[in-house]
Structure 1
Amino acid sequence: MPSRRSPVLRVLVGIAVAIAVGAGALAWSSTLLGEYSVMDMGGAAVDVSGVPSGHAAHTEHSGRSGLSADPAQPGGAVSVTTLTADPDRPADVHAELVARQQTVDVPGGRSLEGYTVNGTSPGPVIRARQGELVEVVFVNESVAAGATLHWHGIDVPNSADGVAGITQDAVPTGGRYTYRFVATDAGTYWYHSHQVSHEQVEGGLLGAVVIDPAEPSAATDADIVALLHVYGGQHTLNGRVGDEQVAADPGSTVRVRIINSDQGTAAVWSAAPFRVLATDGHEVNSPSDVEGRKLLIPAGGRADVAAQAPQQGAVRLQVGGARGILIGDPTVTAPPSAQPTETLDLLSYGDPAPLGIDVSSPARVYDYVISRRFGIINGRPGNFWTINGKLFPDVPMFHVSEGDVVVMKIVNDSNDVHPMHLHGHHVVVLSRDGVAASGSPWWVDSLEVHPHESYEIAFVADNPGIWADHCHTLLHAVDGLIAHVMYDGVTTPFTINGDAGNRPE
């Protein structure tokens, strides 16, 4: 009598044979990498503009960290280690952040093994004023795999980007690393580890950053942070399971800085009108009331919304589905309202305003097409992500020169949602599925691209370095959905999978 396992074995053998045949048909090559440098990955992406390099639009750069040749590098190349904030400028804001691998206490829920910053998760809020120089000393007390801090959404100098194996080595247990950057752009941001990030971010090695405008705004009466995170299946708001109460005088306006550190999309809505003041640290021009619609915030993204306390009682702002913020009389509760079916379209929200860059004749035009196919990454066979048809590490590298205006078309040719995050820059959305943006300039660093959608975006190459451009569903990045924007003439001495133990994803 045949074993019950026989059909299963036949299926497994069939799959193995199919993979082997497919491997030959697709000319797979093993990508068991060992130690490697990002400098050796892939080849230059094809510029589809048809305009010879150097013959199209450049713009004046912001002067964050202009390129100058490093005589210690071959051919006068510039090392990422030299791309720093002014070393002679004293810091205005100082902080020390200590990472530990330990039990995370989740008030209102259950504890779990994870990571803390200064003993808690989320870690402390770093707050600065626009124009100040921030200096953070990061200490790894007990994270066994090493750790870093990436300043998500802040256009820091490249040496402060915190990506293990590209801009620094992972900080080992007992080690420390100093991050320095100017808080150039006011807004809501966050920090998290970029070493084994799919484990360390989910485990809680993260916190919020708020950069207040140089001139205080009179548009709101109060200002709060609402950081969303899932700890072992527990949906939390500022690290706690349950709602948060904000005492506010009747008629006063509260600015709620929502940070989505989850791996999925966060929905925000209210039975009362609210306004979207900013996306990813950039103010919306002439925001209007949102009624009967929900706002979607991608993984890694942020949105500042304004809610007004009612004349009596409290209003509930629902954030991330299971979590709510009650604004108004702290003695009163407000029941949840049903999630609206209609979504606010930021492509047409607010009023148009000048972009500040000329996108009519960009210096570089690139495609970033996301799909997937069977292959091998680091010796693992599987159905992996591709970029422009290429498997990691042979994905294209998007080369730019300082001052270039770059247009990129992101095409999601898959059935999954991809929150795409470009380090070191903000991008402006020009169109979606061929429909031109018609509202306030929609500046983001984390853009959610739904299945079979396409976006045309633009940015100015004004921050020299080697910058990750990846999906912030972090397991997607582990499976190859990561490329890099590389400035001509910039190189890195750091490697991945070597003795330093760098594993950025």
Structure 2
Amino acid sequence: MLRHPPGGRVRLIVACAATVAVLGPLIWLWQDSLLPEAYSVMDMGYADYGGGPHGSSQHEAHSAGGASAHAGHGPAAGRDVTRLTADAGRQADVSVSLVARKQRFRLSSGREFDGYTLNGQSPGPVIKATEGQLVQVRLINESVPGGITLHWHGVDVPNAEDGVAGVTQDAVGVGKEFTYRFIADRAGTFWYHSHQMSHEQVRGGLLGALVVEPGSRKGEVTDAVALVHLYNGVRTVNGREGDVHVEAAPGARARVRVINTEYGVMPAWVSGTPYRLVAVDGTEINGPAPVTGKALAVAAGGRADIEVTMPEDGSPVRIHLGGPAGVVLGSRSYDAPAVPRPAATLDLLTYGTRAPLAFDPGKPDRRFEYDVGRRPGFLDGVPGVWWTINGHLYPDVPMFHVAEGDVVRMRISNHSGEGHPMHLHGHHAVVLSRDGVPATGSPWWVDSLEVGADESYEIAFVADNPGVWMDHCHNLPHASEGLVTHLMYEGVTTRFTVGGSADNEPE
């Protein structure tokens, strides 16, 4: 038998002890990070009440810890998200059917792309409605493996219609369908996209534009959609490589609805005439002034409505969208050479004219901190450097709890080293300040807010749309890497689970 000398035995014991000391915590962290095959977001993380009262909440049993996602408790009793719908007895004013397929398709330039289509095209059809109409969309999954949903980005729909797999519905499997119904109660520019495996399916083409026109408009306006999307790195506008030409008569007003479906900030600028930024994220700007020599910064997921008055001499106007390609407005000619991006960027903190708010953000019922960082750790057993929220790795993140009618104030800070376009579902928030500097222009309402590295924004909103709502980074790979939490209303629950038999994978 092999025997160790006394000194060797001590060294072996010390080495084993050191190994256990090093590997033990790592093994515990790895084990603790593993997600169950199915879990409810109602069990995630820990409750953050923002200084407000503790209502009926499943998180009350877990408020002391951060690993509640592993507990596997079922949803608490309450109003289920499936009951939060539009008027069931009302007939639809706008009815659309969308058939989703996984297929190889051809862009207008002739370039072929393997991805996803809606009614045989990508982007999908532009859905148009008038303010106040009830929209009904029948989604049919013909051949998209893994299932699909549709999320109505920027539209404050009832929670049951939000289209988030594992939160408000199950993913729609191959051969199945789902019907969405919502009232388009806000005029503006919006878009729709899958929220099942969204970091893959949105990039692959499951998206389209949604335009809600006002009930009345003063004067005639040429109206054009400019949805920007990259297919395998190829920049397109409405699925076209190169310029999109739009006819606009001399002296006419033209409104170009810019939609940034990509993961980072997109600059947009105008040559040939001054422009006005008339709306952001589906909300009109109060008192927009003419702009020259400045670009716009359109957040990922965000929208910017640009209005121009065409030159009387008939010369064309170019709207640049992240590069030389864009929208060219013209009549007799579309010869509008590209010009370099202006050095200056329009600051929406000061743009437009002040106007009163319908609530007082200085007297909030809840105050939340949403501090984005980054640190090493495990995410579902995978080691890496992951995003954190208030110092916590997913799923042990704060879950923001509100009661209906609350005035909510939130500070979003970014200490992660990268910019993040933050998107709160079901609500629009007004920007109060950036880096401590108060907003002085038009009320700047957003649903997609770019928070740059080392920036901090204060926003406010009224909790007026009950549900369980995602609040996440719209750089969708970032969301799949843990930069996601939820806004939860008192007394609202969900029966759906992430994972499970439907393989729900919202990001």
User: What is the TM-score normalised by the length of structure 1?
Assistant: 0.89
Corresponding residue of 2:485:
483
Q: In the TM superposition, what is the alpha-carbon distance from 1:265 to its structure 2 partner?
A: 1.3
The answer to whether the 8 A contact 2:258-2:305 is kept is: yes
Aligned partners of 2:155, 2:227: CA distance in 1, in Å?
17
Secondary structure of the equivalent of 2:499? coil
1:19–1:346 CA distance, 2 compared to 1 (3 A): farther
Contact 1:245 1:330 in 2 (8 A): no
Asked if 1:378 is matched to 2:352, the reply is: no
Residue pair 2:30, 2:378 contacting (<8 A) in 1 also: no
Letter in 2 for 1:324: G
In the TM superposition, what is the alpha-carbon distance from 1:19 to its structure 2 partner? Answer: 9.2
Note the C-alpha offset of 1:330.
Answer: 4.7
Q: Name 1:7's counterpart in structure 2.
A: none
> Equivalent residue for 1:11?
none
Q: Equivalents in 2 of 1:358, 1:483: separation in Å?
A: 26
Structure 2 counterpart of 1:394:
396
Q: Is the 8 A contact 1:109 1:234 kept in 2?
A: no
- Corresponding residue for residue 67 of structure 1: none
- Correspondence for 1:262: 262
Counterpart of 2:499 in structure 1: which amino acid?
Answer: N
Report matched runs for 1:132-147 at 5 Å. 132-147=133-148
Any idea what SS the aligned residue of 1:294 has?
strand
What corresponds to 2:417 in structure 1? Answer: 415
Equivalence map 1:148-167=2 (5 Å): 148-167=149-168
Distance 2:34 2:101 in 1: 33
The Cα of 1:322 is off from its aligned counterpart by: 3.7
Q: Is the 8 A contact 1:83 1:157 kept in 2?
A: yes
> Which stretch shows the higher mean deviation, 489-498 or 107-116?
107-116
- Structure 2 distance, partners of 1:450, 1:18, is 39
| Aligned residues of 2:30 and 2:381 also touching (Cα < 8 A) | no
Which residue type is aligned with residue 456 of structure 1? E
- Give 1:313 deviation, angstroms: 2.0
Match among 22, 34, 38 for residue 35 of structure 1: 38
1:188 aligns with 2:189: yes
Q: Are the equivalent residues in 2 in contact too, given 1:246–1:330 (CA < 8 A)?
A: no
- Cα distance, 1:242 vs. partner? 0.7
Offset of residue 217 of structure 1:
3.5
2:236 is the alignment partner of 1:236: yes
- Unaligned 5+ residue runs, structure 1? 1-15, 55-72
AA in 2 matched with 1:404: D
What SS does structure 2 have at the residue aligned with 1:29? helix
1:20-52 deviations in Å (ceiling 9; x for gaps):
5884898983233321110110011252xx565
Report the equivalent of 2:9. Answer: none
The code of the aligned residue for 1:80 comes to V
State the partner residue of 2:444. Answer: 442
User: 2: distance between equivalents of 1:384 and 1:74?
Assistant: 28
Deviation at 1:107, TM superposition (A): 1.7
Q: Deviations over 1:149-198 (max 9, x none)?
A: 00000000000000000000000001000100000100000000000000
Give the structure-2-normalised TM-score: 0.89
Q: Radius of gyration: which is bigger?
A: 2
The separation in 1 between residues aligned to 2:22 and 2:335, in whole angstroms, is 57
- Deviation by residue 1:79-129 (Cα, 9 ceiling, x = unmatched): 001000010111111110111100131122521110000000000011111
User: Shift in Å at residue 285 of structure 1?
Assistant: 0.3
The CA distance in 2 between the partners of 1:117 and 1:170, in whole Å, is 16
State which of 472, 475, 494 in structure 2 corresponds to 1:473: 475
Q: Distance in 1 between matches of 2:269 and 2:21?
A: 47
Q: Is the 8 A contact 1:38 1:495 kept in 2?
A: yes
For each residue in 1:358-412, what CA deviation from the matched residue of structure 2 results, as whole angstroms up to 9, or x when unmatched?
1121110000000011111122111111101111111110000000010000000
Task: Tell me how many residue pairs correspond in the alignment.
Answer: 469
SS in 2 for 1:44: strand
Partners of 2:26 and 2:229 lie apart in 1 by 39
Distance 2:75 2:128 in 1: 40
Cα pair 1:369 1:389 within 8 Å, conserved? yes
Q: Distance in 2 between matches of 1:74 and 1:416?
A: 35
> Does the CA-based 8 Å contact 2:387-2:416 persist in structure 1?
no
Give the % identical residues: 56
330, 334, 337: which one aligns with 2:336: 334
Q: Distance in 2 between matches of 1:332 and 1:113?
A: 32
Alignment of 1:84-99 (within 5 A): 84-99=85-100
Contact 1:412/1:454, CA 8 A, preserved across alignment: yes
Distance, in Å, in 2 between the alignment partners of 1:262 and 1:18 is: 45
Moved more, 442-451 or 306-315: 306-315
Asked whether the equivalents of residues 35 and 498 of structure 1 are also in contact (C-alpha less than 8 Å), the reply is yes
Distance change in 2, residues 1:338/1:76 (3 Å): same
Larger deviation, residues 448-457 vs 109-118? 109-118
- Give the Cα–Cα distance (whole angstroms) in 2 for the partners of residues 479 and 46 of structure 1: 25
